[in-house]
Structures are given as structure tokens and as C-alpha cells.
With several copies, the nearest count.
Chain A
């Protein structure tokens, strides 16, 4: 009943084959590893200098999402990233990297600052998702995520996004709309956590592993589906095994992506970014004759 392209058939075959079964769950675990490097770990290694941009100029400073002016290979950039926190006190302060609307408002402010000065924007995506609390909702969590996505769409400066841990739902996407989107080998990126998916579709959060196999939050799947532009390698065993080496690999990838994004005019870049996301999605065409069905 639905006619699909060769490309879709190829994708279906790949996912039906259920290759890399073990790798899927390993990625989920590595992406959430307690020692996995966070945004600040990379910032320390990638930037020769930095000044933190704090506050949303409206309500608070959300430490789950940090922003900074930073010097990257001799040029100034605006860096934005989720920050989970290393020990319990820092994790609590940073809400485990789950931003409130104030965090996204800070991100928008940072993008606007980059735009005023023509500085490229680099983002580091690592969040279980936006914080799902009453106060966050009351202060407009949904609308602020939408406005953050819009700010990234509107930016005419180069934007390079890197998924470095958990790319959790709208809370991640809010700072992940870029000219180039990179994803570390063991990072995950998905519309919902495996646990959340399992709780809803399997009616049992314990089926997270099964859900992860079904919906494939892996870098490989994201690349195949055209959602990310490149996979960034990690040291053997995961980024936490050698943070300096992980940073070098990420640095190389960002530097190349940035050079690509900088190679076109601002207007072309903005149009191309929008066009890239416009192409995302896979669909077929209703076919009354029943030919070439799923």
C-alpha cells in the first residue's frame, strides 16, 4: 500500500538485520558512564582561554547549561553545552545536566551575542533531557525549547554541534541544530530515553534494553538516517579511558566541520542549514495498486 524508495528499503534491511546488537546497549552505558568527559572537560582541552557567560537576564543562571566566550585555534567562538556535574553536590547544582527554561534562554542569549560579533557557535550536547518539573513547565519549558531551536535556525554564523554523551530528546535538540552535527562513537541520540520508550510501548521500564535495540539511539543509526554528518572516534573502551585523546579526536572533527561551515557565505550557510533539516524524515507514497509495498 505504501511505495517506498530504494533508500528506505536499504535502511529497513539494515535495521531488520539487527546488526551490532551488543554495541547498542554498550553505547547506552558508555554514553552515561560516570567518568565520561563532559563539556567542561573538552573546553579545558580545546580552548586556550575562556570567559563564562552566565545568566538569562530574566530569572536565574541555570548551571545545567553553560555558555562561554572562548578562544579556539586563534579565533573567538561562543561555546554552549550541557554540563552534568561530577560529584553529587555538583550534579545536584547542575540538575544532572537537565536545563530549565532559563538554560535555553541563556543559550539564545549566547547565540545572539555570537551573531552580533560574527563568532562561530560550538555546542556540546549531553543531557538526559529538559528538566520535567512543575516550575520548569510553569516558566514555559516547551516554548523556550522551540525558541532555542529557532535561534539556531536563524543564526547566520557557523554552527557546529557535537553530541558527546546523551542526546536526550528536545532538551538536546534545543542546542543541536547546526551546519554540521557531529556525534561521538559511543554517544546516543534519541527522542526519548530507552527507559521511557519501554515504559510506554512495552508498559515496563525494565525493557529498556529491548527498546534500545528497537529504536537504535546509536551514532551509526543517526549517520545512516542522515541526522548527523560524521561520527567522531573515541579511544578504545570509550572517551573516559583517555580524555586527552578523546579531546584531540573531537578537536580535529570540529575544526574540519567549522572550516566547511565557514567556506560559504552567511546567507548560503543559513539556507543550507535550514534545507538540511528540511530534508530529514523518511516517508513513502500511498499506492492504490499495492506495488512495491513495505
Chain B
């Protein structure tokens, strides 16, 4: 049985044989310049396909400019097993750091989201498939610590093929370690919002990522414990094209919402408002609670347009 694997699969038809340029839409073949795609939050303007987003770019998308302060930056994997497969683990780590500029597959810190403070933990699939090892576990816990210490919500954005096999049992233990951190938040009444990006699988979805007080996914994200290939190879069952996809998960009761990336920051602002302390309202009025002035939302108009009234209709479906 191998439910945890690093090299996650793409849906059928997503992957052509041979190489495809990362800025070519796998769904409609539109091609974009990188700055174009970045400006569009890496969402295909033609068909709405959501391209992968690196950790730092994701932070730019949701955190107010200039407010992000990273924590745990200097932590690095230490390879206690002196693990060698076809290549040494240390070589793979070096390559990943050079390719991504990151010290591991998760970036932790604090910042403001549309004016409200939050602790942040964002994963990067480009760093060894977003695999969870000791550094990721510790960094996630540091973000949770910051949330706990300051009494501010924790927001995580995950993208992971699962546990990092090169750390074997220590990688597995990060599931217990991160769940313990979520347990502390729950005990203290500190909100935790989990955002699942494509793909969130294996040990990450079977631990902290599933335990958000609110769990939101990006459209079409693959969210499953075992990937479709493992399921098919192990059990001989066929998987449907929508197996494990965000929309299936919503229907199957695992998610609160599937939110297009362009609306994500607005939804986070709404949630941070809802999780903020009660305020006295002036004489029976039911107007929206004021938000910081000048707050804007990426890809949308001013905040109050989004937060003005009940938006249940939009999120249903």
C-alpha cells in the first residue's frame, strides 16, 4: 500500500506526452507571458484554468503589500537518515532550493489580509512536490505559535504530493505534530482557515489541512489521500474523471466552499471579519461592520462591494 506519494498525478488529458511550457494552459492551450499570467493571479483568462502558484507569489496575492514577516526562514532539512535513492536526499534538497529560492516546501510568517492581521503558512509544490518533512512541520507549528501568541487567525494554503519519503518515519510524525498545533489553536479558540490548492494529497490532507475551522478549495484541485493512480493500481478500481476533485469534495461534504482564486482574498477578508471580536453597533443599525479604509481586493473592486450583504448565493454550486 502506498497512499502517500510525492509525485502527484494530473487528471487524465491534462498531461500530454512530451513537455509542455508551464505557461501554456493545459485545458485550452492558450499561452501567456509570465508577467501576464502573474498579473491574472495565474488564472487562464480564456477558460479559468488555475495554474500552480509558488509560495511567495501566493503570499503576494493574499497578504497586504509590505506586511509579510517571515518566520523560521533559516530552518533546513538535515537528512538524519543519510538517505540515498537514485540520488542523495541532500542533492535533491540543493536542487530544490536553487530552483525555488526557498528553504523548504512551506513558507511561514505573519501579515495582514485586507487590513486584518493573520498568521500565514503557504506551501510550494515546486519544492520537492510540496512534500512534508521535518522543516515543513516545524514551520507550520511556528505559524500556529504566532497565531496563538497574538490571538490572530491562522491561514494555510497547501499544495502537496504527501509526505517526504526521504525522512520516512519523521515525515509521518509531522502529521501528528501539525495536528497537535491545530489542537492547541482549537483549545484556545483561535480560528484556522485552510485553503487547499491543487494538489493537496497524502499526509498533508490527512493532517492539518483537513482540520481548518473553515476549509476552502480552489477549483478543480485534486484533494485525496491516495491519488487516482495509486487507487487504480492497488485496488483495480477505475476512477472517474472528477475523482478527488474540489467539486466532488464539496458535494461529498468535505469542504465549505470552492472559491475561484480571484475571489479568494475577498472571502478571506469576509472570514477574518466574521472571526473578529464583537463590536458595539450604533443604535440598532444592521449595516456592515466597517473595514479599514482604502482596502482593496485583488482582481475586484473596493471591499465593501463584496462584503456589503449576504453572499450565500455566490458560493453555492
Contact = CB atoms under 8 A, between A and B. Distances in A.
Direct A–B contact present (CB less than 8 angstroms): yes
Interface string B256-278: 11000000000100110111101
A285 B172 contact: no
B191 A117 contact: yes
B125 interface: no
A23 interface: no
B163 A192 contact: yes
Contacts of A283: 75-78, 134-135, 138
Nearest to A18: B82
Interface in B227-272: 230-231, 234-235, 237, 239-240, 243-244, 248, 250-257, 267, 270-271
Contacts of B276: 76
A196 B1 contact: yes
A281 B210 contact: no
A8 B81 CA distance: 9
A46 B165 CA distance: 35
Given A68-B312, A214-B84, A216-B168, A60 B78 contact: no
Interface of B: 1-7, 73-86, 90, 94, 103, 133-135, 137-138, 141, 163, 165-177, 179-184, 186, 189, 191, 201-203, 205-211, 213-214, 223-226, 230-231, 234-235, 237, 239-240, 243-244, 248, 250-257, 267, 270-271, 273-276, 278-281, 284, 286-289, 307, 309-312, 315-316
B307 A191 contact: no
B142 to A, nearest CB: 11
Interface of A: 1-2, 4, 8, 11-12, 15-16, 40, 43-44, 46-62, 66, 68-71, 73-76, 98, 102, 106, 113, 116-118, 128-134, 136-143, 145-147, 149-150, 153-154, 168-171, 173, 177, 189-193, 195-197, 199-203, 211, 214-217, 221-222, 225, 227, 251, 274, 277-278, 280-286, 294
A63 to B, nearest CB: 8
Given A283-B135, A285-B75, A197 B165 contact: yes
A50 B81 contact: no
A69 B94 CA distance: 45
5 contacts: A49-B288, A69-B271, A132-B230, A196-B1, A283-B78
A150 B211 contact: yes
Max chain B Cβ within 10 angstroms of own Cβ: one of A11, A70, A137, A282: A137
Contact of B1 (A138, A143, A169, A221): A169
A61 B250 contact: yes
Contacts of B225: 130, 132, 136-137, 141-142, 145, 170
B127 to A, nearest CB: 14
Contacts of B85: 201-202, 211, 214
A58 B189 contact: no
Q: State the 4 A-B residue pairs at the shortest beta-carbon distance, nearest first.
A: A196-B2, A281-B134, A55-B253, A75-B278
Contacts of B315: 51-52
A239 B4 CA distance: 29
Contacts of B281: 73-74
Contact of A280 (B173, B201, B203, B278): B173
A114 to B, nearest CB: 11
Given A71-B273, A191-B169, A55 B80 contact: no
Nearest to B181: A278
Contact of B3 (A4, A54, A169): A169
Nearest to A252: B284
B78 A282 contact: yes
A217 B141 CA distance: 25
Contacts of A98: 1
